[in-house]
């Protein structure tokens, strides 16, 4: 099956999108890339692992932080990624970390007709 990685950060209404994405499908593992505020305040209905970041760090440091926390935890062949929430800096760090880990990724979103790959 598929692992889900979702950025859970800033953006009006984006936490609701991520919550529905989590609920809509069965996932092998769910990883939420967020900060302390997100970990303390977002309550997913399924078990998820929080990958904590500090967006004030340099981009290269964010990449290394994400890589270190995800290393050897992901299905290397099927990782669904959702970046609806967060900043460009966070998105770049996530994509860079995943590519450096050598995993295959698919960008996904939730539509009125369900989850779609983009």
| pLDDT band at residue 76 under the 50/70/90 scheme | confident
Q: Residue 1 has what pLDDT?
A: 83
- The parent domain of residue 106 ranges over 3-117
Mean pLDDT of 12-25: 93
- Which CATH number fits the domain that encloses residue 62? 3.40.50
**Residue 11 predicted with pLDDT over 90:** no
Task: Quickly count: other Cβ atoms within 10 Å of residue 89's Cβ.
Answer: 15
Mean pLDDT of 105-118: 94
How many domains, the chain?
Answer: 1
The pLDDT of residue 81 is above 90: yes
Q: What whole-number distance in Å separates Cα of residue 11 and Cα of residue 111? A: 17
Q: Residue 50: pLDDT above 90?
A: yes
0.85 cut: is pTM over it?
yes
């Amino acid at each position: 099956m598929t692992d889900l990685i979702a950025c859970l950060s800033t953006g009006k209404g984006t936490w609701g999108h991520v919550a529905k994405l989590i609920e809509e499908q069965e996932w092998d593992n769910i990883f939420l890339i967020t900060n302390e505020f997100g970990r303390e305040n977002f309550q997913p209905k399924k078990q998820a692992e929080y990958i904590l970041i500090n967006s004030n760090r340099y981009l290269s440091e964010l990449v290394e932080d994400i890589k270190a926390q995800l290393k050897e935890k992901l299905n290397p062949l099927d990782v669904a990624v959702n970046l609806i929430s967060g900043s460009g800096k966070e998105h770049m760090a996530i994509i860079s970390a995943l590519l450096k880990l050598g995993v295959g990724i698919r960008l996904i979103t939730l539509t009125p007709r369900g989850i779609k790959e983009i």
